[in-house]
Amino acid sequence: MTIRLSLLALLVCLLAPIAPSDATAADRLALVIGNAKYPDADAPLKEPVNDARSVAEELKRDGFTVDIGENLTADGMHKALERLYGRIKPGNVALIFFSGFGIQSNRQSFMIPVDAQIWTEADVRRDGISLETVLGEFNNRGAGVKIALIDASRRNPYERRFRSFSAGLAPVIAPNGSLVMYSAALSSVMSDNGGDHSLFVQELLKEIRVPDLMAEETLNRTRVGVTRASRSEQVPWISSSLAEDFSFIPGAKAVAALPQQPAAEPPPAQPSAPSKAEAPKSEPPKTEPPKTEPPKAELPKAEPPKAELPKVDTLPIPPPPAVRPNNEPPTPAPPALADDPTIKMLNQKIAENPDDSGALYRRGQVYASKGAYDFAIKDFGDTIRLNPKDVEAYNNRCWVRAVVGELQSALRDCNEALRLRPNFVDALDSRGLVNLKSGMTKNAIADFDAALKINPRLTSSLYGRGLARQRSGAVSDGEVDINNAKAMDPNIVKEFADYGVR
């Protein structure tokens, strides 16, 4: 009898289903980070800290062991990640949620700590935290399910310091068993809505609480909710290579996908260009949302740059009205600038070494980003005086002079930048702005064309070319460029308005 009972117990154990990866709380590990206080930004972000706290509480309810960090420096982020890596055991679930600024560089996405010192693209790779590296480490430690939820598709304060990188985030090359979601489409940026939570987190928290959904369906429903609520202006991106069922709610069983009520169908697409008053809307989500990014407006295809760039060394630009006398020094910096921590640090470096061209250039960039254009022009001029071959300083001074209307001087700076570095995409983009503001639409189109052949997703060149095409009479082609640019970056219209271009 004893033998029979033992055999029966053994049989029951053998036939019992193997516990899934989400069976116990100890198997679920999460790191949640909300970075809001970036010294280089004009003001703290309103959403990331609240988003991180709410996501952390929800994950705790779902059985995760959660480590939460707010306004973490690079050292703080690395230490938090090391703690997470050290807890992972084979078969665990490892999740990272990040809200803050993100930048793509060299086709990778980087989460940015609050103390990052970013002046060149190389600084992104030095100070940023690579998402691919984090997921790779999850995999190396044996995590069975690897999840990344990234709400970082924001216009960041470092953008005008180096202009050759693409906006938004890049597709991630993740190991098998990964589920990755960005709050917006690849290479696009969104503005914060000014509320307590981002639209992405609002929808995510709503869907995570729906019982009997697998994680992929939870995120697909989140994407549907964000797309509808934003009227297709924000469409999250998802990538999945999960090889097993996983649910945010422990014990959930896989069921057929719940039917989604389709959004109202838009009228059939017309062959003519969309109306100027309305940006194109992407196709509404279908009943069963796909696992990959929905189709976007068609963008220009990359081609190798032309051998010869447009020559505009002697453009007949009419002299603009003087912005300020050439020899008049700028007025004293406003107190808000003098108290800026980055400017304070650079002021100290320059006081210690007035010939520190790097500090002068960086201070010029900060002044330009804050609209103190006179100060920026002076610092870029001092940089060029110390290093007459500083192509970046020529390009940045060209751009600033274009913004304030010193178009003849701006053109000379851009031409010199392109002489020093042919095919320099940033200088082509800047010179396109000069030509656009000067009324030289054909030359503007030529410059923007050349820039877009090098970087087809350079939003400023795409929008600038659209305006130039409209002004030259190619209204339909111009509308296509403008609407594509607005789909990539909803803030592009305001950016050009700030340049004095409408």
Q: What is the pLDDT of residues 424-476, one digit of tens each?
A: 888 999 999 999 999 999 999 999 999 999 878 788 899 999 999 999 999 99
Best CA proximity match to 86, nearest among 25, 137, 34, 23: 137
Helices 215-229 and 199-208: angle between axes, nearest 10 degrees: 140
Query: Is residue 96 located within the same domain as residue 215?
Result: yes
Total domains present in the chain: 2
Please state, in angstroms and rounded to a whole number, the distance separating the CA atoms of residues 339 and 95. 39
Query: Is residue 165 located within the same domain as residue 42?
Result: yes
Among 207-211, 278-282, 338-342, which stretch is predicted with the lowest mean pLDDT?
Answer: 278-282
Residue 172 is encoded by which pair of tokens? 């991630």
Please state, in angstroms and rounded to a whole number, the distance separating the CA atoms of residues 140 and 85. 9
Q: Summarize the confidence of residues 90-95 as an average pLDDT.
A: 96
Query: Is residue 218 located within the same domain as residue 359?
Result: no
Please state, in angstroms and rounded to a whole number, the distance separating the CA atoms of residues 363 and 373. 11
Best CA proximity match to 454, nearest among 306, 342, 311: 306
Range of the domain at 225: 25-240
| Residue at 281 is within a domain | no
Q: What is the CATH number of the domain that holds 53?
A: 3.40.50.1460
Q: What is the CATH number of the domain that holds 378?
A: 1.25.40.10
Query: Is residue 478 located within the same domain as residue 364?
Result: yes
Query: Is residue 232 located within the same domain as residue 343?
Result: no
Strands 93-99 and 28-34: parallel
Query: Is residue 76 located within the same domain as residue 203?
Result: yes
Query: Is residue 228 located within the same domain as residue 363?
Result: no
| Residue at 254 is within a domain | no
Domain edge (last residue) among 208, 240, 272: 240
Mean of per-residue pLDDT scores for the chain = 79
Query: Which of 48-57, 157-166, 209-218, 395-404 shows the highest mean pLDDT?
Result: 48-57
pLDDT value for 160: 53
Domain edge (last residue) among 184, 206, 240: 240
Residue 320 CA to chain centroid, in angstroms? 36
Q: Are 141 and 88 in contact (CB under 8 A)?
A: yes
Coil, strand or helix: which one is 456? Answer: coil
pLDDT at 277 over 60: no
Global confidence as pTM: 0.55
Domain edge (last residue) among 201, 217, 240: 240
**Residue 65: which pLDDT band, with cuts at 50, 70 and 90?**
very high
pLDDT at 218 over 90: yes
pLDDT value for 49: 96
pLDDT at 314 over 70: no
pLDDT value for 240: 92
| Residue at 285 is within a domain | no
Query: Is residue 204 located within the same domain as residue 341?
Result: no
Query: Is residue 227 located within the same domain as residue 369?
Result: no
pLDDT value for 275: 35
DSSP characters over 157-206: TTGGG--SSPSS-PPP---TTEEEEESS-TT--B---SSSS-HHHHHHHH
pLDDT value for 194: 64
Show the DSSP H helices in 17-73 as ranges: 48-61
Best CA proximity match to 65, nearest among 90, 34, 33, 87: 87
